[in-house]
Chain A
Amino acid sequence: MDPHLVIRLAALRYKLLWAQTRTRNGRIALFLVGYVSGLLILLAFTAGGLGAAMVAVRSGKALAVAQIVLGSLFLNGILASVVTGFGINSAFSDTALRRFALNAGERLAARHLIGILEPIWILILGLDLGLAIGFYVFGAGGFWLGIVAVVLLLIADYLVARSLATLIEWLSRIRGGTAILAMMLFGACVLPGLLANRAAKAHGFAQGTLRALRFSPPFAAAALLVHPDATGLLSGLVLLGGWIVLLVVVLDVLERQAARPRGSAAAAVVWDSGYDRVASIFGPEMAPLVARSLRYYSRSNKARINFMLALPALAILTFGPAALPGDPRHKFVIALGSFAMAGFLATATICTNQFGFDASGFRRYFLLPIAPEVILRASSYTTLLAGALVLPVALVLWLLFAPVPFNWRMAPMLAGSAVGGLLLFNALSIWTSVLAPRPVPFETTFGNQLSLSANLLLFGGLAATIGGAGALDHRVGPDRVLAYWWVPLLAVLLAAGFYLLSVRRGAALFTGRRERILNALEGRN
């Protein structure tokens, strides 16, 4: 093993990160990350670290506090990396590392050492260390044992996140894997609610769960932190060590599976005209462009998963935390808000960044014998069409299964809200696509690759529609809302007007900004 070369590669990774700050977007990102990190570290050392330790010592519940804090940080590490994509995309792939004088073992070590030195894991380590040092300062734990516990926990955390990410990567490539992935994601969304419900009803369920959790990495680290006697030391170390060995084996197996080349043996050309037939409704000039986009989106794991999760997400938004007790018609008012997001939830990844998947293919558009505005119109119509596919399904499911007394006014109101929302958010997405384009690797499956403005649109939209519906329900009530059944239909007309205006103005802007968009998509800011 050549440790100098491995260290130089880790340093190179940080140099590359620093190089990103040379662009305007990079500087904004650096400012935000620095600001948020600073705040988090401050919070960790006060509330999370020293503060938690102080609470633990004074309350006499050191173990429970350590379990809660380390458990939360462990889960946050996984969520931050797998969901948002921080610290999980390999800085250097095995293939890239083959350029250097490293053998297979050294490449593996280099890859994971560079991975665990990503800023997100250093931040998690800082937070864990805050607790360990707090325990030491207040006399509830040993210094070196605390350091060993949190370092081992961090390694286990990294390995779990990495294994999960590799599993997702592998599933996204195999036949039927996207469906399994969607079910996994749906399970991850509803499981916490189901478990909480079960814990509230079943006597002894919570105690049983806690007993089982004693064998988990964060609880083992907490035991190591708080019980520095020989038995606690041995059991904690054995448990954490065992987890790390197990996770290394699992990760190795998954990486081998994921690295297998996709089966693309020689195959004759098969003409699949389904996309072309659907696209033909847009006329001969736009049809090839729409068909191309439909093919792209149907092959993108990210787009497919978002599409499949749209209806479960809609159900969670409508019947989840925002739902109010009492009159079931409250749920209908909340549904008015969530239905406005239905089509957008399915297509946000593609419609807020309509050229992000094209990379240098974007260049091709301007070599075609069409006016540039046709490209934007075709792209926007495609996302509108894709989003519209979700709406009738959502409406039929509501009418058939929603536990709300039926009123004929609900159908046009929900349809109006859904169509109006789709038009409104697609109109706004034209502006994010033209003003804030971002290159997105086509093979990407997880992580949030949306631009800041697209994120604001998505999460702002969720807050505005669900929050607005909640406020409407609270202030006006279901009876009066139903009396004004024609309002959503009026909203459709307004949204349609705004959409047409955005297409028109956006097309002019798109033509003028095409060189800047091309530079952004080809990585030249």
Chain B
Amino acid sequence: MTPAIQISNLTKNYGQTVAVENLSLTAPGGTIFGFLGPNGSGKSTTIGCLTGLLDPTAGEIRILGEPFHDRSVELKRRMGVMPETLGLFDALYAHEFLFFQARMFGLDEATARRRVGELLNAMELEGTGKKRLSEFSAGMRKRVAFAAAVIHKPELLFLDEPFESIDPAGVAVIKQWLHGIVAQGRTVFLTTHVLETVERLCSQVAIITRPGKLVWQGDITALDRNGSIAHDGREFRTLEELFLHLTGERYAQLDWL
């Protein structure tokens, strides 16, 4: 299967600040790929470059086997993105926003309306016909952003912190959908700080540290079967242990707390 994402020597600078440095990784197609790193390690910047929001300073990106820079408009049609800040148009109603998204991705009017209705029902947002997105709770906003990312049935789905603020029932629905998406050979590229979720959901993981440097990539399915991952001559039984070892983060102790 063609790799869903191939990044070669990606660098992104903001003036003198290096946000991502010489990052190379490959996300295989048909998987849920976890992209992990501490705060400020460059995850969102990398996703910004992969989705066309940001221009890389250097490096090459191939999406679904094609060079992203040359064919960004065509490739965006095959991608769905739920950005970190959600990127909602707050003055619209949920159904108007989803309809806008569907039409921009080329769905005809009848299909767009049908899918909007189905997604609103599935996300338990059907009673929000007169409520602007600015009035939605954080969890409801996240559900709308997720619905917008999947409404055109993308081949590659980028999710930046998809489960934060969503209630357990909503999380369960989304996880079920993600498994369904992967079962059809499509790919999910997600970032989250909840490592237990990654352990249960993802088959492949990449871990980066500041500033956007890849420190580990591999298969983590063994962890889900109570196995372990060998690295640096050690056995890691949880993703958290491996993550802390790789990123140099430590458990801080405060005597007064």
Is the Cβ of A367 less than 8 Å from the Cβ of B126?
no
Instruction: Give the distance in Å from the alpha carbon of A357 to the alpha carbon of B91 in the complex.
Output: 9
Q: Assuming the A-B contacts A270-B129, A369-B73, A369-B76, are A360 and B53 also in contact, with contact meaning beta carbons closer than 8 angstroms in the complex?
A: no
A288 located at the interface, meaning its Cβ lies under 8 Å from any Cβ of chain B in the complex: yes
Is the Cβ of B85 less than 8 Å from the Cβ of A360?
yes
Instruction: Give the distance in Å from the alpha carbon of A262 to the alpha carbon of B120 in the complex.
Output: 22
A242-274 residues at the B interface, CB under 8 angstroms: 262, 264-271
Is the Cβ of B95 less than 8 Å from the Cβ of A368?
no
Give the shortest distance, in Å, between B122 (CB) and chain A (any CB).
14
Instruction: Give the distance in Å from the alpha carbon of A52 to the alpha carbon of B254 in the complex.
Output: 64
Is the Cβ of A368 less than 8 Å from the Cβ of B91?
no
Q: Assuming the A-B contacts A267-B129, A369-B74, are A296 and B89 also in contact, with contact meaning beta carbons closer than 8 angstroms in the complex?
A: yes
Taking a contact as CB atoms closer than 8 A, the residue among A264, A271, A289, A360 that contacts B95 in the complex is A271
Taking a contact as CB atoms closer than 8 A, the residue among B51, B95, B106 that contacts A367 in the complex is B51
In chain A, what residue has the closest Cβ to B97? A292
A457-477 residues at the B interface, CB under 8 angstroms: none
Q: Assuming the A-B contacts A270-B129, A288-B100, A367-B81, are A442 and B134 also in contact, with contact meaning beta carbons closer than 8 angstroms in the complex?
A: yes
Residues of B within 8 Å of A368, CB to CB, are 76, 104-105
Instruction: Give the distance in Å from the alpha carbon of A515 to the alpha carbon of B81 in the complex.
Output: 18
Residues of A within 8 Å of B87, CB to CB, are 360-364, 367
Q: Assuming the A-B contacts A295-B96, A361-B89, are A367 and B76 also in contact, with contact meaning beta carbons closer than 8 angstroms in the complex?
A: yes
A205 located at the interface, meaning its Cβ lies under 8 Å from any Cβ of chain B in the complex: no
B223 located at the interface, meaning its Cβ lies under 8 Å from any Cβ of chain A in the complex: no
Is the Cβ of A268 less than 8 Å from the Cβ of B127?
yes
Instruction: Give the distance in Å from the alpha carbon of A295 to the alpha carbon of B79 in the complex.
Output: 26
A61 located at the interface, meaning its Cβ lies under 8 Å from any Cβ of chain B in the complex: no
Taking a contact as CB atoms closer than 8 A, the residue among B88, B89, B91, B127 that contacts A300 in the complex is B91
B176 located at the interface, meaning its Cβ lies under 8 Å from any Cβ of chain A in the complex: no
Give the shortest distance, in Å, between B118 (CB) and chain A (any CB).
12
Is the Cβ of A292 less than 8 Å from the Cβ of B92?
yes
Is the Cβ of B90 less than 8 Å from the Cβ of A369?
no
Is the Cβ of A366 less than 8 Å from the Cβ of B89?
no
B114-132 residues at the A interface, CB under 8 angstroms: 116-117, 120, 126-132
Is the Cβ of B53 less than 8 Å from the Cβ of A367?
yes
Binary flags per residue of A289-315, CB closer than 8 Å to B gives 1, else 0: 101100110011000000000000000
Is the Cβ of A264 less than 8 Å from the Cβ of B130?
yes
- A291, A299, A367 — most chain B CB neighbours (10 Å): A367
Instruction: Give the distance in Å from the alpha carbon of A57 to the alpha carbon of B25 in the complex.
Output: 84
Is the Cβ of B120 less than 8 Å from the Cβ of A515?
no
Instruction: Give the distance in Å from the alpha carbon of A175 to the alpha carbon of B73 in the complex.
Output: 42
Residues of B within 8 Å of A371, CB to CB, are 73
Residues of A within 8 Å of B93, CB to CB, are 269
Taking a contact as CB atoms closer than 8 A, the residue among A266, A287, A358 that contacts B89 in the complex is A358
Is the Cβ of B91 less than 8 Å from the Cβ of A299?
yes
Is the Cβ of A269 less than 8 Å from the Cβ of B92?
no
B175 located at the interface, meaning its Cβ lies under 8 Å from any Cβ of chain A in the complex: no
A522 located at the interface, meaning its Cβ lies under 8 Å from any Cβ of chain B in the complex: yes
Give the shortest distance, in Å, between B226 (CB) and chain A (any CB).
39
A102 located at the interface, meaning its Cβ lies under 8 Å from any Cβ of chain B in the complex: no
Taking a contact as CB atoms closer than 8 A, the residue among A362, A515, A522 that contacts B54 in the complex is A515
Residues of A within 8 Å of B53, CB to CB, are 363, 366-367, 518
B65 located at the interface, meaning its Cβ lies under 8 Å from any Cβ of chain A in the complex: no
Is the Cβ of B91 less than 8 Å from the Cβ of A268?
no
Residues of A within 8 Å of B89, CB to CB, are 292, 296, 358, 361, 364
In chain A, what residue has the closest Cβ to B77? A369
Instruction: Give the distance in Å from the alpha carbon of A267 to the alpha carbon of B94 in the complex.
Output: 12
Q: Assuming the A-B contacts A288-B100, A368-B76, A369-B73, are A295 and B51 also in contact, with contact meaning beta carbons closer than 8 angstroms in the complex?
A: no
Is the Cβ of B130 less than 8 Å from the Cβ of A267?
yes
Instruction: Give the distance in Å from the alpha carbon of A167 to the alpha carbon of B93 in the complex.
Output: 26
Instruction: Give the distance in Å from the alpha carbon of A360 to the alpha carbon of B83 in the complex.
Output: 10
Q: Assuming the A-B contacts A271-B95, A288-B104, are A370 and B73 also in contact, with contact meaning beta carbons closer than 8 angstroms in the complex?
A: yes
B103 located at the interface, meaning its Cβ lies under 8 Å from any Cβ of chain A in the complex: yes
Residues of B within 8 Å of A291, CB to CB, are 100
Residues of A within 8 Å of B134, CB to CB, are 442-443
B50-76 residues at the A interface, CB under 8 angstroms: 51-55, 73-74, 76
Give the shortest distance, in Å, between A283 (CB) and chain B (any CB).
12
In chain A, what residue has the closest Cβ to B54? A515
Instruction: Give the distance in Å from the alpha carbon of A515 to the alpha carbon of B91 in the complex.
Output: 23
Is the Cβ of B91 less than 8 Å from the Cβ of A367?
no
B10 located at the interface, meaning its Cβ lies under 8 Å from any Cβ of chain A in the complex: no
B132-181 residues at the A interface, CB under 8 angstroms: 132, 134-135
B86 located at the interface, meaning its Cβ lies under 8 Å from any Cβ of chain A in the complex: yes
Taking a contact as CB atoms closer than 8 A, the residue among B73, B90, B105, B116 that contacts A359 in the complex is B90
Residues of B within 8 Å of A267, CB to CB, are 127-131
Residues of A within 8 Å of B193, CB to CB, are none
Is the Cβ of A363 less than 8 Å from the Cβ of B85?
yes
B93-113 residues at the A interface, CB under 8 angstroms: 93, 95-96, 100, 103-106, 113
Residues of A within 8 Å of B127, CB to CB, are 266-268
In chain A, what residue has the closest Cβ to B130? A267
Give the shortest distance, in Å, between A197 (CB) and chain B (any CB).
42
- A267, A291, A522 — most chain B CB neighbours (10 Å): A267
Residues of A within 8 Å of B100, CB to CB, are 288, 291-292
Beyond A360-B87, A364-B83, A522-B85: 11 further Cβ-contacts under 8 Å? A266-B127, A267-B128, A268-B126, A271-B95, A292-B92, A300-B91, A360-B86, A366-B51, A367-B81, A442-B91, A518-B53
Which 7 A-B pairs give the minimum distances between C-beta atoms? Answer: A266-B127, A364-B87, A267-B130, A369-B76, A363-B87, A369-B77, A267-B129
Partner-B contacts on A (CB < 8 A) = 262, 264-271, 287-289, 291-292, 295-296, 299-300, 357-364, 366-371, 442-443, 515, 518, 522
7 A-B residue pairings within 8 Å (CB atoms):
A264-B130, A267-B130, A269-B128, A360-B86, A362-B87, A364-B87, A442-B90
